[in-house]
Amino acid sequence: MEEVRESARWVAEHSELVRLDHAALAGFARELAARLAAGELKIPRWNYRYHFHDGGERTVAYLLVLDSLNFCFWAPEGKRKWKVDYAGEALSGYFALAGALKRAFEAGLPLDDARYLARLSTHELKKLLAGRGELQLLDRRAGILNELGRALLERHEGRASRLVEAAGGKAVELVRLVVRELPSFRDEAEYKKRTIRFYKRAQILAADLWLAFAGKSWGRFEDIGQLTAFADYKLPQVLRQLGVLRYSPELAERIDRLEPLEAGSPEEVEIRANTIWAVELLREELARQGRDLMAIELDWLLWGMGQREKFKQRPHHRTVTIFY
């Protein structure tokens, strides 16, 4: 995704509130290379336990619905984090969404029917995602599924698989197609009079298809390595803990006291763009040490690290947004 990569590079070069510590990045690259060589770290694979998978078109529909709703799982101050009981476990965050949707697909709810999505109400979605605590932006989530249903009916015979097939086996084209046809995936911001592109959820959709279908069928993309890291709130939290991302004292204080950052604000754009560019530089450092990883593989490693308490010592930034 050259447009995303170029956006990230440009913002990193012009940032005022966020900077990259290149010495810390090089040190982390050496540590990562050593741990990968020793087998202490492995690239995560698809989690079939929490994701619906029948190997067919319903799986494609499941992933499209999943990534349409894959955003904003943190709880507002004073509220309980949203959790879902699935298979005897209390899941939170992204896996709560994956499990809740898997439960719905297994129960036979027609989430793979574009007509059903086009008229799904907020009340019905709330029942479908039933759990404890508060999941933010529920009205927006229902609206996004309505948008998805209408787009599939109007352009792709009502089938998610047809949308994926329209990309011709190219991940970058799928991202651009989804961004073009579904405004809720149009993850862009204005920064210093330039349009900055992130396309986080659209890129995750391509990566999820590739992983879930093991690079075959609807997951066969000849250019999967062109995708960038997915700019969210967990990766910068990890990179900050590692000392790779450095915030200005004022910005660090705002994040540490859980003050929300406005979506599209300079500080939010700088955090996300520097995260993507840090992963690009990390990939280059690892390549120099003989470890060739894709940006999305590094993303998965960092995201997995972010689930450990060690990397939650400082809070992640908080932005109410549909994009991550």
pLDDT tens-digit map of 90-124 = 999 999 999 999 999 999 999 999 999 999 999 99
Q: Which of 54, 232, 256, 292 is catalytic?
A: 232
Q: Which domain covers residue 280, as residue numbers?
A: 2-312
In a domain, 231, yes or no: yes
pLDDT, tens digit (0-9, with 9 covering 90-100), for 5-17: 999 999 999 999 9
pLDDT digits (tens, 9 = 90+) for 179-201: 999 999 999 999 999 999 999 99
Number of domains composing the chain: 1
Structural domain includes residue 51: yes
Looking at residue 243, its pLDDT comes to: 98
The pLDDT score that the predictor gives to residue 201 is 98
Q: What is the mean pLDDT of residues 29-33?
A: 96
Active site residue 232: yes
Q: Does any domain span residue 235?
A: yes
Any domain includes 323: no
pLDDT at residue 199, rounded to an integer: 98
- Whole-prediction pTM: 0.96
Q: Does 324 reside within a domain?
A: no
**Mean pLDDT value across residues 16-42:** 96
pLDDT digits over 243-293, tens only?
999 999 999 999 999 999 999 999 999 999 999 999 999 999 999 999 999
For 141-163, the pLDDT digits (tens) are: 999 999 999 999 999 999 999 99
User: Is residue 77 over pLDDT 90?
Assistant: no
What is the spatial distance between Cα 218 and Cα 60, in angstroms, rounded to a whole number?
7
Whether residue 322 is contained in a domain is answered as no
DSSP string, 166-178: TTTT-HHHHHHHH
- The Cα 115–Cα 117 span in angstroms is 5
Cβ contacts of 216 within 8 Å, gap of 6 or more: none
Q: What is the pLDDT of residue 19?
A: 98
Residue matched to tokens 């349409």: 68
Tell me, yes or no, whether 187 lies in a domain: yes
Q: Is residue 318 part of a domain?
A: no
For residues 168-175, average pLDDT: 98
The answer to whether residues 168 and 138 touch, using CB atoms and an 8 Å cutoff, is no
The per-residue pLDDT of the chain, averaged, comes to: 97
pLDDT at 96: 98
